[in-house]
């Protein structure tokens, strides 16, 4: 139970990875495959963010206190969530949306070519 | 992070993910997927990853949903599964 | 200037791509020369880097001046430098070759094509040169996204084939990213050499093992090793000529390079061959990949499709060679990355020329090809001999190293598979050459008195030159095998191999 309290985020990551993988491989509709792809990528991003988070952590920016109108700046490294993983994931989100755009464009092209978005019907038409 | 809040969000994320995949209506699925992205971004705010959260809100919940709706608009809206 | 060569390799094509987008708006005709100039610059920088590496060992280039474990590092050793030269050379040749086929097949999308083309080369070169695991992921996705767009330009069945590639490619890239994440948890570092220096202390860790599994699964999907090869033949067959000439030789080879990097720089030979016992399984995959690729190639009527199955077989060669765990096998793999890149591009250019002249590339279109396209067919013979493995072409030497490596580690199944594959290649190419030479059936034998003449219509010069450069490079590489192996490959072989 204690393990679960610390690691429940990773459990969610695994559940989402499995859902995404199942949708990408097992679903028949191409748009559903794209949704599965997004969920899959999101799960990986979730994994990276969970890796950098701490209980009660805060955003890594410069903090200050104001005493009699004088600002004193200070940092408290131990309170910060790991910014490295967050920055990495900014890139990953953008990459994910680019891939999604590509995939959905292809879905529309496939629809105009075959008149359907169901994989089995397309395969039947290809023969 | 507040325990019940966090747990409720995690549960909702899984429910919306499964729902987005199982709705027959593609337009509905796109909207539910947008909800999923938005819940994700709430989770990340709770984990002090604010910059990721607002990128996700703009790109994941915003642009992705627009892409999905645009696609669903152009093709047959009923999915077989 | 001289220290900047490593970064110029990547930056020149990147800026060329930006210029191309703008130039394409105003004057599409200027795109191809611009792309050639950009890639030529990249190629020259790669050659300069190679000479620097052979003189002074490993080059470490810090992007933005940040020190390696914190910033992104470009790290060039002999292995990188050779692959960089190969990639930029092949890209340059294809850019020259592409002029006519692109005008014919993609008339109104010329500027888009060259922009994506150069961006794809940027991604591939970046993947090869970078020393940072996450940077590699980003460049992997750049290369993947541009290749999806390029492959989908083929229209018709290309759309569905590319869609499958998008799905599988994303799974592969995400698996790679997941593996990098697990390593980041354990080591706190993204620099490959830095991770490599930390991992020996974590030899027994379960997480490190799982990370290795995910990294390998991701890379194998990307390179289309046997159980994951389903997307490759369709995607490459229905692509436009110029695209398949670029993507087929390069994408899979760069993925093999990444596999070697992960195996021997991030992890160590000692850990892979002594701590975990995966070798028998991977060798079976490699053997099955070779046999499957060869037999499916035999069954094809379309020559381009046949070549795509041969690529699947060649992947088996390289994976098997690297996993024999011998110095000879690894030498063969590294040598074969270069050799296979060159011979695949040579053969695809030949097929592209035939498609350009005759509309498609099945056995029908090869009839009488020797009379009508003598130069093209001669290049086909050189490429075919290299594929079969006849000296002095480089295909022979890579097979020699692979077989001697497999013999040392007593992987006899791999040797048998290699020999069968050579035999199948021989059958395939003899069949093509036979059709091209003696195509007339007895009833069609021309009457010497009648004026039966085949039209002489060889490929345009702009297509023949790159084709012949690659064909001659195959022979030159074969003749200088000893030089290449002792000068560049041997210094970089990791310790811990048999």
The tens digit of pLDDT for each residue in A12-24 reads 899 999 999 999 9
pLDDT of residue C360: 78
pLDDT of residue C450: 52
Q: How confident is the model at residue A100 (pLDDT cuts 50, 70, 90)?
A: very high
Bridge partner residues of C191 (DSSP) = C132
Q: What average pLDDT does this structure show over B68-73?
A: 91
State whether CATH 1.10.287.3510 applies to domain A2-55+84-126. yes
Report helix angle C110-129 to C78-97, nearest 10: 170
ipTM score of complex: 0.93
Query: Which residues in chain A have Cβ-Cβ distances shorter than 8 Å to C146?
Result: none
pLDDT of residue C274: 85
Three-state SS at C276? coil
**CB contact (8 A) between residue C170 and residue A41:** yes
Dihedral over alpha carbons C409, C410, C416, C418 (to 10 degrees) = 10
**CB contact (8 A) between residue C171 and residue A102:** no
> B49 lies in a domain?
yes
**Above pLDDT 70, what percent of chain B?**
98
Least CA distance to B76: which residue of chain A? A116
Q: Determine contact: C138 vs chain A, CB below 8 A.
A: yes
Q: Is A85 within 8 Å of A9 (Cβ atoms)?
A: no
Residue C135 has pLDDT above 70, yes or no: yes
Q: Which of A64-73, B50-59, C164-173 has the lowest mean pLDDT?
A: A64-73
pLDDT of residue B2: 67
Closest to C177 measured CA to CA, from B37, A48, A102, B51: A48
Q: Determine contact: C160 vs chain A, CB below 8 A.
A: yes
Query: Which residues in chain A have Cβ-Cβ distances shorter than 8 Å to B53?
Result: none
Bridge partner residues of C60 (DSSP) = C75
Closest to A59 measured CA to CA, from C70, B44, C71: B44
Q: Is C283 within 8 Å of C413 (Cβ atoms)?
A: yes
**CB contact (8 A) between residue A93 and residue B56:** yes
pLDDT of residue A2: 74
**CB contact (8 A) between residue A19 and residue B70:** no
The chain-wide mean pLDDT, for chain C, equals 88
Query: Pick from B10, B43, B59: which is nearest to A93 by CB?
Result: B59
The tens digit of pLDDT for each residue in C347-363 reads 999 999 988 888 777 77
Residue A4 has pLDDT above 70, yes or no: yes
Q: Is C229 within 8 Å of C310 (Cβ atoms)?
A: no
Query: Pick from C138, C144, C159: which is nearest to A110 by CB?
Result: C159
Q: What average pLDDT does this structure show over A33-42?
A: 93
Query: Pick from A23, A57, A94: which is nearest to B21 by CB?
Result: A23
Query: Pick from A24, A85, A105: which is nearest to C167 by CB?
Result: A24
**CB contact (8 A) between residue C145 and residue A99:** yes
Residue carrying the six token digits 């692109």: C102
**CB contact (8 A) between residue C177 and residue A98:** no
Q: How confident is the model at residue C451 (pLDDT cuts 50, 70, 90)?
A: low
Q: What average pLDDT does this structure show over C107-117?
A: 88
Q: What average pLDDT does this structure show over C108-118?
A: 89
Give the Cα separation of A122 and C247 in Å (integer): 26
Q: How confident is the model at residue C216 (pLDDT cuts 50, 70, 90)?
A: very high
Give domain limits for chain C.
277-441+455-498
**CB contact (8 A) between residue C174 and residue A44:** yes
Q: Is C464 within 8 Å of C376 (Cβ atoms)?
A: yes
Give the Cα separation of C136 and C258 in Å (integer): 9
Burial annotation C238-266 (CB, 10 A radius, 16+ → b, else e): bbbbbbbbbbbbbbbbbbbbbbbbbbbbb
Q: What average pLDDT does this structure show over A48-71?
A: 83
DSSP output for C17-81:
HHHHHHHHHH-GGGHHHHHHHHHHHHHHHHHHHHHHHHHH--EEEEGGG--TTTS-EEEE-HHHH
Residue carrying the six token digits 């994440």: C181
**CB contact (8 A) between residue A99 and residue C159:** no
**CB contact (8 A) between residue B68 and residue A111:** no
Q: How many CB atoms lie within 10 A of CB C464?
A: 18
pLDDT of residue C440: 56
Three-state SS at A60? coil
Least CA distance to A41: which residue of chain C? C174
Nearest-neighbour CA in chain A from C281: distance (Å): 24
Q: How far is CA C391 from CA C334, C385, C412, C418, C478, in A?
A: 18, 8, 23, 16, 7
Nearest-neighbour CA in chain A from B69: distance (Å): 10
pLDDT of residue C483: 87
Q: How many domains does chain B have?
A: 1
Chain B window 14-53: which residues touch A at a Cβ cutoff of 8 Å?
14, 17-18, 20-21, 26, 29, 33, 36-37, 40, 43-44, 47-52
**CB contact (8 A) between residue C178 and residue A24:** no
> B79 lies in a domain?
no
Give the domain range for residue B24.
Answer: 3-74
**CB contact (8 A) between residue B67 and residue A49:** no
Q: Phi and psi for C131 in degrees, rounded to 5?
A: -115, 15
Q: Is B28 within 8 Å of A27 (Cβ atoms)?
A: no
Q: How confident is the model at residue C44 (pLDDT cuts 50, 70, 90)?
A: very high
Least CA distance to C165: which residue of chain A? A103
**CB contact (8 A) between residue B50 and residue A108:** no
Give the Cα separation of C255 and C337 in Å (integer): 10
Q: How confident is the model at residue A95 (pLDDT cuts 50, 70, 90)?
A: very high
Candidate ranges A61-65, C33-37, C438-442, C480-484; pick with highest mean pLDDT: C33-37
Report helix angle C303-323 to C241-261, nearest 10: 10
Bridge partner residues of B22 (DSSP) = none
Query: Which residues in chain B have Cβ-Cβ distances shorter than 8 Å to A101?
Result: 67
pLDDT of residue C210: 93
pLDDT of residue C455: 64
Disruptive mutation site among A39, A95, A116 for chain C (greatest number of C CBs within 10 Å): A95
């Amino acid at each position: 139970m204690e393990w679960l309290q610390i690691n429940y985020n990773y459990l969610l990551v695994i559940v989402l990875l499995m859902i995404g993988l199942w949708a990408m491989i097992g679903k028949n509709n191409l748009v559903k495959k794209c949704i599965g792809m997004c969920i899959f990528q999101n799960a990986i991003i979730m994994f990276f963010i969970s890796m950098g988070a701490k209980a009660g952590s805060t955003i890594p920016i410069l903090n200050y206190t104001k005493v009699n109108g004088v600002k004193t700046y200070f940092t408290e490294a131990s309170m910060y969530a790991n910014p490295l993983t967050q920055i990495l994931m900014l890139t990953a989100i953008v990459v994910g949306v680019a891939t999604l755009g590509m995939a959905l464009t292809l879905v529309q092209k496939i629809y105009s070519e075959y008149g359907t978005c169901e994989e089995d019907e397309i395969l039947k038409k290809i023969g | 992070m507040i325990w019940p809040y966090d747990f409720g969000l995690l549960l909702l994320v899984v429910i919306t993910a499964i729902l987005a995949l199982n709705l027959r209506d593609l337009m509905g699925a796109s909207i539910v997927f947008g909800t999923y992205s938005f819940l994700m971004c709430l989770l990340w705010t709770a984990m002090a990853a604010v910059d990721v959260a607002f990128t996700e809100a703009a790109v994941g919940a915003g642009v992705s949903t627009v892409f999905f709706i645009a696609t669903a608009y152009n093709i047959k809206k009923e999915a077989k599964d | 200037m001289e220290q900047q060569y490593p970064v110029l390799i990547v930056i020149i094509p990147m800026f060329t791509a930006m210029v191309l987008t703008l130039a394409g708006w105003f004057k599409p005709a200027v795109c191809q020369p611009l792309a050639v100039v950009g890639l030529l610059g990249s190629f020259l920088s790669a050659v300069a880097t190679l000479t620097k590496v052979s003189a002074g060992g490993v080059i470490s280039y810090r992007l933005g001046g940040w020190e390696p474990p914190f910033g992104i590092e470009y790290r060039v050793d002999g292995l990188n430098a050779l692959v960089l030269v190969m990639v930029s050379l092949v890209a340059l040749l294809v850019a020259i070759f592409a002029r006519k086929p692109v005008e014919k097949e993609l008339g109104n999308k010329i500027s888009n094509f060259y922009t994506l083309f150069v961006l794809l080369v940027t991604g591939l070169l970046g993947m090869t040169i970078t020393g940072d695991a996450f940077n590699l992921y980003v460049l992997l996705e750049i290369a993947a996204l541009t290749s999806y767009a390029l492959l989908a330009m083929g229209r018709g069945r290309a759309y569905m084939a590319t869609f499958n590639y998008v799905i599988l490619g994303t799974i592969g890239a995400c698996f790679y990213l997941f593996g990098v994440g697990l390593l980041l948890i354990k080591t706190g570092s993204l620099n490959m050499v830095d991770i490599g220096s930390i991992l020996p202390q974590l030899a027994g860790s379960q997480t490190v093992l799982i990370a290795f599994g995910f990294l390998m699964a991701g890379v194998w999907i990307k390179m289309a090793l046997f159980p994951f090869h389903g997307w490759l033949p369709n995607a490459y067959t229905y692509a436009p000529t110029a695209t398949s000439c670029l993507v087929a030789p390069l994408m899979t080879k760069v993925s093999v390079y990444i596999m070697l990097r992960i195996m021997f720089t991030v992890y160590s030979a000692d850990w892979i061959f002594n701590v975990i016992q995966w070798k028998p399984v991977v060798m079976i995959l490699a053997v099955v990949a070779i046999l499957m690729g060869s037999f499916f190639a035999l069954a094809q009527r379309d020559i381009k499709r046949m070549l795509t199955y041969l690529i699947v077989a060649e992947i088996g060669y390289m994976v098997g060679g690297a996993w024999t765990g011998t110095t000879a096998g690894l030498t063969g793999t590294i040598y074969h990355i270069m050799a296979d890149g060159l011979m695949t591009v040579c053969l695809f250019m030949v097929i592209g020329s035939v498609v350009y002249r005759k509309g498609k590339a099945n056995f029908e279109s090869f009839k009488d090809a020797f009379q009508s396209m003598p130069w093209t067919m001669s290049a086909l013979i050189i490429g075919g001999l290299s594929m079969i493995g006849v000296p002095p072409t480089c295909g022979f030497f890579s097979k020699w190293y692979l077989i001697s490596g497999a013999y040392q580690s007593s992987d006899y199944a791999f040797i048998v598979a290699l020999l069968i594959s050579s035999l199948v290649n021989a059958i395939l190419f003899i069949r093509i050459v036979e059709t091209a030479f003696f195509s007339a059936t007895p009833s069609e034998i021309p009457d010497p008195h009648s004026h039966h003449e085949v039209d002489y219509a060889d490929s345009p010069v702009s297509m023949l030159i790159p084709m012949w450069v690659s064909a001659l490079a195959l022979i030159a590489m074969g003749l200088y095998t000893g030089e290449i192996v002792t000068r560049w490959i041997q210094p970089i072989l990791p310790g811990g191999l048999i």
